[in-house]
Amino acid sequence: MKIFERKADLNQYIEDAKFDGKSIGFVPTMGALHAGHLALVSEAGKQCDIVVASIFVNPIQFNNKEDLKKYPRTFESDREMLEKTGCDVIFFPSVEEMYPEEVEEKYNFGALETVMEGAARPGHFSGVAVVVKRLFDLVHPDKAFFGKKDFQQLAIIRALTKQMGSPIQIVGMDTVREADGLAMSSRNRRLSAQEREQAVELSQALNFIKQNKNNFTLVQLEANAIEKLSRNFRVEYIQIVDGHSLQSITDWSQSNYPVVCAAAFLGDVRLIDNLEF
C-alpha cells in the first residue's frame, strides 16, 4: 500500500494507473476509521481496480473550533486497517498541502443546504464541497463511496458532481451499526461509558417513528421520538423529510421517499443518524 502526502506524487500515481486502464474507487475520510469506513473500502475494491482513501481532517468544514481540536486523529491504526482491507493508496495531506492559499471557492446548493445540518452548522457544507471537489480533481475516481449516515452530505455531494458536470459515480452505502443499533461514527469514541449506553436511544427513537408510522401524525411522531430520549440529550432536530429534496414533510403523501433524520448532543459529542422508510 502506498502513502502519499503530496498532491504531485498522488497525481503521478493516478496518471500511471489511468494510463494502464485501471478504474479508480475513492473513499474520502477524515480518519478515525471504523467498520463503516472499511465497508466503503471493501465495496470500492469489489467495484474498482484500485482503491484510494484520503485521510484529511478538513478544518474548513468545522464550524466549532473545539470539535476540530477534539476530532480523533489515529493515523497508525487507520493505516493498518486500510492495508488489511485491501486499500491500495492513502492520500494523507497536510492542511498546507490542501490549502496553500486562502480558500475562495463558493458553492450554492439552494434549499439542500439550508435545512438540518446546514442550518445547525453554518458553512459546514461549503467546507465539505471545497475539499471533496479538490480531492475529486486530484484522484479522478470513476466511483466515489460515501456512507448514508451523513445523509445530507451524500445529497450535497450528488448535487456537487451534477454542478461539476462530472462523470464520477457516487455510491451511497448503508449505515453500519454497533450490535445495539448505534450508528458507527468516529465521534462515538469520545462518549463516556454512560453516554455510550444512552447513545443507542437515538436510533431507537428513529425506529419508534418507523414502527408507529400510521399511529400518529408526523408532527406527533417527531415530538414523541424526542420525548423518548433521556434528559442528557440536547436534540437539535428530529425531522421527517423527503429524501430527495430534504424538505420537511407533514404528511406521508408529500413524499415517495421519506427519511427521518436526527442530530443531538450527548455531553459535548454531536451524534447524527437517519432511517429511510
The stretches of the chain forming alpha helices (DSSP H) are: 7-19, 35-47, 65-70, 75-84, 95-98, 116-120, 124-139, 151-164, 193-211, 218-227
- Catalytic, 124? Answer no
Least gap, CB of 57 to ligand PAF (angstroms): 8
For the chain, the farthest-separated pair of C-alpha atoms sits apart, in whole angstroms, at 58
Task: Show the site string, 132-171: x = touches ligand PAF by CB under 6 A, - = not.
Answer: x-----------------x--x------------------
Identify the CA nearest to 171 among candidates 201, 141, 192.
141
Determine, following the binding rule CB under 6 A, whether residue 185 of this chain makes contact with ligand PAF. no
Per CB under 6 A, 126 contacts ligand PAF: no
Nearer to ligand PAF, 62 or 225 (CB): 62
* Separation between Cα atoms, residue 14 and residue 141, nearest integer Å: 9
Query: Among candidates 147, 105, 141, 140, which has minimal Cα distance to 126?
Result: 105
Cβ atoms within 10 A of the Cβ of 133, count?
18
Among 62, 67, 65, 55, CA closest to 124: 62
Instruction: Please state the closest distance from residue 28 (CB atom) to ligand PAF, in A.
Output: 4
Taking CB under 6 A as the rule, does residue 61 contact ligand PAF? yes
Collapsed DSSP state (helix, strand, coil) of residue 260: strand
**275 touches ligand PAF (CB under 6 A):** no
- In terms of CB distance, is 132 or 173 closer to ligand PAF? 132
Could you give the 3-state DSSP secondary structure of residue 166? coil
For 225, counting Cβ atoms within 10 Å of its Cβ (0-12 exposed, 13-18 middle, 19+ buried), the class is buried
Q: How far is the CB of 151 from ligand PAF (least distance, A)?
A: 11
Of 127-135, 163-171, 176-184, 204-212, the segment contacting ligand PAF by CB under 6 A is 127-135
Between residues 131 and 206, which has the closer beta carbon with respect to ligand PAF?
A: 131
* Minimum CB distance to ligand PAF smaller for 128 or for 221: 128
Number of C-beta neighbours around residue 31 at 10 A: 22
Stretch 18-47 residues interacting with ligand PAF (CB under 6 A) = 28-30
Of residues 186 and 198, the one with the C-beta less far from ligand PAF = 186
Active site residues per annotation: 37
Q: Which residues bind ligand PAF (CB under 6 A)?
A: 28-30, 58, 61, 128, 131-132, 150, 153
